[in-house]
Structure 1
Amino acid sequence: MKPIRPPQTSFVLSPLKPRSCRSSPRLRVNPAQCRTFIRPQRPSHRAVENLNLNRMRTESYDYYVRRRAFLLCGAISGVVGICYTSYLLFQELRKPKKLDSGLPDKLDPFSTEAGSKRKTVIHDGDGTELVPTGNSTIPTFPRLLELAVGAEGAQEKVNGVEYTLVGLGVRTVSFLSIQVYMVGYYIATQDIAAIQSRLIKEINPIATTLVSNEKDELRKALLDNERGEQLWTDILREIKPRSLFRVVPVRDTDFHHLRDGFVRAITARSQSNNSVYGDEAFGAAMKEFRNLFNRGKVPKKQEMLLVRDAAGRLTITFNDGKTGMGTLGRVSEERVSRLLWLNYLAGSKVASEPARKNIVEGLMEFVERPVGTVESQVV
């Protein structure tokens, strides 16, 4: 008898499908407790932040305080900007109106390159001719000055001597280029022809004017340290033109500060030639020169004139703004004024390089005209 076998049942294993706890109707699980592929299982309850009303009130108050301060600063800035803009417009409207000189474009007041504009002349309310300086504190210099100092003939002693501006510039000190004063060089109008002739003969002995390439040669000679100093020394010693330097401080200073700068410049140049400047007469003249500056303050915008007459005597005048222009004194030794003039006009180290270059360009306008016809030119 054969053993009875149980019936065989065949079945196929199908791959198990992942079942989601959310989609399965059989699982009664809180969805918050489900684990997903990306995030772990979360707790069934969440922490609830306790609201702090005092802190919220403080933060709101601080926010509105900052907002009000910001808006207030903006309003103040707007008012200041409007006031400043109005002030600038008012200043522009008060400036004297510029007039065209009628001459071709030539030179800029502070440029040494050909092709720039000729110096501009403006007129104030009284009709006085002014030359812009490019400086905000001292915006203009007079084109002409009339002084009794240096007068020779009877008519000049009555009417005064007319001096014409040749060039100007700013004096700076230290590596920070701190501006000290504006300085302008004036020559007696009647003596311009003599300087004009001497400069032309330096380049072309038979010419009455200089052409472009000859002017470039003269410019190069005047800017050369040795040749320029020798040329100006000859002019100051032989021709002795009446001239002056107008010094106007840009900031408040004093006489001792100005004196120290002048004395250092004269001393440095005199030590290079002790045989000419090492005598007692020159030493006594320097002592006299120092004593003229034993005074107090020099307010800004108050002019000082260093005047050299036909004999080479140096006369110093100053306008204190209260009593008017007054004479500080005179130094009769010609060598003192000569060295002081060279401190601005020539040499390896000058008091103001912009002034020297501008003076040279003013002289270039002299030599481009026939001798004796410069009195009516516009600088």
Structure 2
Amino acid sequence: MFRQTALRRIAGAPTTTAPFRAQVPRRTLFSRGNQRRSGRAVENLNIQRLSQQSEDWHRNRRTFLWCGTIAGVISFIYTAYKLKVELSKPNKLDTGLPSSDPLASPSAADRKVVVHDEDGREIVATGNSTVPTFPRTLDLPAYTAPITTPSPTTTDPLTTQTITTPSGTTEYTLVGLGLRTVTFINLQVYVVGYYVATSDIAALQSALTKKINPIATTLVPGEREQLRAALLDPAEGERTWDELLASGVPARSAFRVVPVRDTDFHHLRDGFVRAVQARAGGETMADDAFGEAMRQFRAVFNRGSVPKRKELLLVRDETGRLSIAYDGGANKKEGRPPGRQLIGVVEDERVSRALWLNYLAGKKVASEPARKDIVEGIMEFVERPVGTVASQVVPVVNAKV
């Protein structure tokens, strides 16, 4: 039996005495495992990993879209700004030459250009389309008449104001001008120009010249740059103008305000009052006389609308008294006479000085273009010998507009 079984194993024949068992190869240390693979594709899904990938994709998509939106807004703002800058440039082949175009921007040349209108009057371009020009000189009377109180039954308070016009008038020369803007979108409000009595320019020349060089009658280029830096410096400029105005230099000056859009006296009053309060010190604000002067100042502006292109004058005399005149044009229906009409006077010198400083110097001024243009006008003065009637707006071009 055992012999037959052994012979069958040798011959390869199956044995019948023992039950059939599957032959399972044994795995040893050096043998490879049985890598039997199925013919079907098997995909192992990780739900958590797929969810994380989807979340990352949507987050990146949102970030990309926000970046594109922000870049688009910035590009739009930058393009609009560059377009505005290009449109504001003068349409000249050679902008280095003085321009005779009264509508050209004042920065088109190193010096302003005086042109003549059809009536032969000298005018200066403002760079604004609504108020394109300002007169180079003003002939103003001495506003010395007392101001009468408007009657409650009067429909137009301008008809009750009085004005004294002496036999002669005083000529005022334009020093500088600029545009007043408000809010971050630079909403244009009015064009303002600073005028100094022509006969008082010599005193202003002398005071500013001696501030830099006490023995000089005119300033050389290096000294002019030193004076320009001092006037443009917020602290030094305010200190300089405060000292000059307190000492009565210049003795007579005026600000001419012309709105470029329809406004009203209350709106102008609020801006002026905030400017005066910001410039006046704490002790000054607590003074009863100053408080009464501010009440008088507010009362002057207690009236109606101010259409665009109408003129408002703020005039400071040798005593520092502030006179306010308004030219609303003739109105036969309301009985309003033509020309400038005196509408109010404020006696306290501190009110006019604070209002003047709001345009001339400080960290924040009403119109930065006007302040810079006034400083450039001052530079035209001090480069000439003291006593010479200097004008900022040169050379004169005999042109008709």
Post-superposition Cα deviations, 1:260-290, rounded to whole Å, max 9, x if no partner, equal 00001111122xx222442100000000000
One-letter code aligned to 1:356: R
Shift of the 288–150 alpha-carbon distance from structure 1 to 2, 3 Å rule, reads closer
Letter in 1 for 2:214: P
Aligned to 1:25: none
**Shift in Å, 1:377:** 6.5
| 1:122 aligns to 2:131 (yes or no) | no
Distance 1:216 1:301 in 2: 36
Aligned residues of 2:248 and 2:319 also touching (Cα < 8 A): no
- Match of 1:342, SS state, is helix
Paired residues for 1:294-373 under 5 Å:
294-322=302-330, 323-324=337-338, 325-373=340-388
Shift of 1:149: 2.4
For 1:259, which of 252, 269, 272 is the aligned residue?
Answer: 269
- Say if 1:377 and 1:174 are closer, same or farther in 2 by CA, change over 3 A: closer
Pick 1 or 2: higher relative contact order, CA cutoff 8 A, min separation 6.
Answer: 2
Number of the residue aligned with 1:183: 192
Alignment RMSD, CA only? 2.0
Which letter maps to 1:126?
A: D
Alpha-carbon distance, 1:373 to partner: 0.6
- Residues 65-100 of structure 1: CA deviation (Å, up to 9, x unaligned): xxxxxxxxxxxxxxxxxxxxxxxxxxxxxxxx9499
**What's the offset of the Cα at 1:328?**
0.7
Deviations 1:294-343 (A, max 9, x none): 00000000000000000000000001122322111100000000000000
Sequence identity (%): 62
- Tell me the SS of whatever aligns to 1:158: coil
Q: What is the match of residue 193 of structure 1? A: 202
Matches within 5 A, 1:152-171: 157-171=166-180
Deviation of 1:376 after TM superposition, in Å, equals 6.2
1:109 matched to 2:102: no
Structure 1 counterpart of 2:111, one-letter code: R
Instruction: Compute the TM-score of the two structures, normalised by the length of structure 2.
Output: 0.64
- SS of residue in 2 equivalent to 1:349: coil
Is the Cα contact below 8 Å between 1:129 and 1:142 reproduced in 2?
Answer: yes
The residue aligned with 1:83 is none
CA distance in 1, matches of 2:373, 2:391: 19
After TM superposition, the runs of 4+ consecutive aligned structure 1 residues lying more than 6 A away are none
- In 2, the alpha carbon distance for the partners of 1:149 and 1:224 equals 34
CA distance in 1, matches of 2:231, 2:392: 21
What SS does the aligned partner of 2:181 have?
A: strand
Paired with 2:378 and 2:306, the residues of 1 have a C-alpha distance of 31
Please give the per-residue CA displacement for 1:33-68, whole angstroms capped at 9, x wherever unaligned. xxxxxxxxxxxxxxxxxxxxxxxxxxxxxxxxxxxx
Structure 1: gaps of 5 or more residues:
1-96, 101-107
Task: After TM superposition, give the deviation of residue 190 of structure 1 in Å.
Answer: 0.6
User: Map of 1:1-379 to 2, 5 A cutoff?
Assistant: 98=100, 109-110=106-107, 116-149=109-142, 157-240=166-249, 241-270=251-280, 273-322=281-330, 323-324=337-338, 325-375=340-390, 378-379=393-394
What's the offset of the Cα at 1:378? 3.9
1:307·1:316 contact (CA, 8 Å) conserved in 2?
Answer: yes
Moved more, 233-242 or 204-213: 233-242
Cα contact 2:380–2:390 (8 A) shared by 1: no
Unmatched 5+ stretches in structure 2: 1-98, 145-164, 331-336, 395-401
Return the alpha-carbon distance in structure 2 between the equivalents of residues 246 and 235 of structure 1.
20
- Check whether the contact 2:262–2:306 (CA below 8 A) recurs between aligned residues: yes
What is the number of equivalent residue pairs in this alignment? 266
CA distance in 1, matches of 2:255, 2:381: 19
Whether the aligned pair in 2 keeps the contact of 1:167 and 1:362 (CA below 8 Å) is yes
TM-score, with structure 1 as normaliser = 0.67
